[in-house]
Amino acid sequence: MASFQVLGSHLEYRWIGPKPADAPTIVFLHEGLGCVGTWRGFPERLASATGCGALVYSRVGYGGSDSVIGKRPVRYMHDEALGVLPAVLEHFKLGKVVLFGHSDGASIALIHAGAHSGSVRALILEAPHVFVESVSIEGIERITADYETTRLRERLARHHGSNTDSMFRAWSDVWLRPEFRQWNIGEYLPAIECPVLAIQGEDDQYGTLEQVNAVVTKVRGPAETLILPRCGHSPHSERPDEVFQAAADFIRKTLDTG
């Protein structure tokens, strides 16, 4: 897997399709336990259908990127959105950008777009977190128990290797801290003027539809939703065809890529 260096850390990445000079770029931002590999073939499929390039990278502490050191701060998603992501976009000289974020990645996309109005052409948000709900904490408590008692660690290690334990502990620890209950990124939403597609499963174990409602009612730009019955926290994995079609249609319509 290729890597690049930004802000003193090496991050693994995969580039798909046309270069930035030739087409818009979809930047994929993974979930709290994800990385380049967990997207599987979805980025290739979407890039091919839309004529866009795609950048898929793993944040520090994930996949084959450098390891995380110490505990994550409560504002770790702010740090990614306001510090790391702008540096990544600058490194690859990306101008016409669509951010496709899943879970933590969707929150990072929202913060970035709200703080850098005009820098993003469109947002596709899967299972975004705008604020912390009881169901979020309960879901993370369950998966933390599963990490100790099931084969979850083994499955995660296929993607994260030596980063697995530090990655999982850093993520679960920050979400379960009492002070994280006050985390809220609603202040960034009114500044978002680009088109938004928000996607969520009705059976999402980490958030209710109130998260999507917060997005579509508070952003300034046009917003649409895809709500999927019998679907949990990872729509692009659980309902890939429906998510692919909605995302491809949204990108073509928004960017007029044909």
Q: In the predicted model, what is the mean pLDDT of residues 140-146? A: 98
Alpha-helix residue ranges (DSSP H) falling in 53-160: 76-79, 85-91, 104-115, 134-149, 152-160
| Residues 136, 151: Cα–Cα separation, whole Å | 22
Residues 25 and 96 sit within 8 Å (Cβ to Cβ): yes
> Residues 159-182: what's their mean pLDDT?
97
Tell me how far apart the alpha carbons of residues 14 and 18 are, in angstroms, rounded to a whole number. 12
- The arithmetic mean of pLDDT across residues 106-122, rounded, is 95
Q: Which helix or strand (DSSP H or E) is residue 200 part of? A: strand 196-201
Prediction pTM value = 0.97
Determine whether 178 is exposed, middle or buried from the number of CB atoms within 10 Å of its CB (0-12, 13-18, 19+).
exposed
β-bridge pairing 122-126 and 223-228? unpaired
**Measured in whole angstroms, how far is the alpha carbon of residue 216 from the centre of its chain?**
17
What digits encode the pLDDT tens for the residues 10-68? 999 999 999 999 999 999 999 999 999 999 999 999 999 999 999 999 999 999 999 98
Question: Which residue in the block uniquely carries the two structure tokens 């990127």?
Answer: 65
pLDDT of residue 257: 53
pLDDT at residue 113 is higher than 60: yes
Q: Indicate whether 258 pLDDT > 60.
A: no
Q: Which helix (H) or strand (E) holds 14?
A: strand 9-16
Domains and CATH numbers, the chain: 2-253 (3.40.50.1820)
pLDDT number for residue 72: 93
What local confidence, expressed as pLDDT, does residue 69 receive?
82
Has residue 234 got a pLDDT over 80?
A: yes
pLDDT of 206 > 80? The answer is yes
